[in-house]
Chain A
């Protein structure tokens, strides 16, 4: 059971938009910054979003992040087949004094 809650799967057609939610509590998302990671099949996770809504260099602007209260959302527009991957949210949990992840969401581009 993950500390952060994500939907197990989402899907959308190429070119469409998808959002992935991440729900937490006041001791993690409600108090700290959220980051998002993309894990392509058979590879290590890669940073997509940091500090709730910032993109590292090389991440396209069709990728976005937001946070409100104890929830965060990852958005991807202009979906491509290459976006098919598992997506994880993560943050520091102040009560646990540990990093926590969501359970991951599998994105399927139909």
Chain B
């Protein structure tokens, strides 16, 4: 099983600032099959990024993903008030899909 470790656990930022989240895998993620999700309180998660860097339909372009192998990064270029939420990475490179533990982006 591939273990995904997200850092930091919590990110305290102000609207308009840049957010950079990390997701590190315990072994290489096949074909960069890594996705990012956003979850707001009381809501289901929402897919934002797949294949490490491809935006899902409807994802604003202030959200971006990058990386390969074992190190992946998710960036929000300028935080909007609605972006404060928990973000999860997920790998689907093998048939035992796993999630990271999440990074909470909170208002400073």
Q: Do A and B bind each other?
A: no
A: residues with CB less than 8 A from B are none
B: residues with CB less than 8 A from A are none
